[in-house]
Amino acid sequence: MARQVFSRPAGAALVAAGLAVAPAGPVGATENDGYVMGAGRWSCAEVAGIVDGNDPSQVGQLVGWILGYWSAATFARETGFVDIVEQVGGRTIFDQTLTECRSAPGETLLHDVTKSMIANTK
C-alpha cells in the first residue's frame, strides 16, 4: 500500500481549513481573526486551581502560554512596549498576569485578562 505524502502547501491548507470550521468555544474564546488554544482558554478559576495544585506539567503550560502571548505582542507593538517587556521580565509578567486573573471573575478567560493587560501597558 502506497503511503500518501502531503506537500507543505497542502498540509498548510488542511490546517487552515480545520481552523476555519472549528466549533465556537466559550464566550471570548474566538476572535475575528484567530482562535485561542491551550491555556488561554482556561478560566481564571481553572488557572488559580492549577497554580494552587502545583502540577508541574500544567503550570509549565500556563507559563509557556502567558510568556508566548506577551512575546508575540512585542511584534505588533511599539518599541516602548518591547522595552517594558524586556525590563520587567518573564517572572514578573507571569506573576502580575496571575494576580490579575485571580482578581477577575472566575469565568473570565486567561486570554481576556492577558489581552487586556497588554492593551493597557503603555
**What 3 state SS string does 1-57 have?**
CCCCCCCHHHHHHHHHHHHHCCCCCCCCCEECCEECCHHHHCEHHHHHHHHHHCCHH
- 10 Å CB burial of residue 105 (0-12, 13-18, 19+) is exposed
- Tell me the per-residue pLDDT of 32-54, one tens digit each, with 9 for 90 and over: 677 889 999 999 999 999 999 97
- Tell me the per-residue pLDDT of 83-100, one tens digit each, with 9 for 90 and over: 999 999 999 999 999 999
Percent of the chain with pLDDT over 90: 66
Candidate from 25-34, 72-81, 91-100, 112-121 with smallest mean pLDDT: 25-34
The predicted structure's pLDDT at residue 119:
93
pTM of the predicted structure, to 2 decimals: 0.71
Residue bearing the bigger pLDDT, 107 or 21: 107
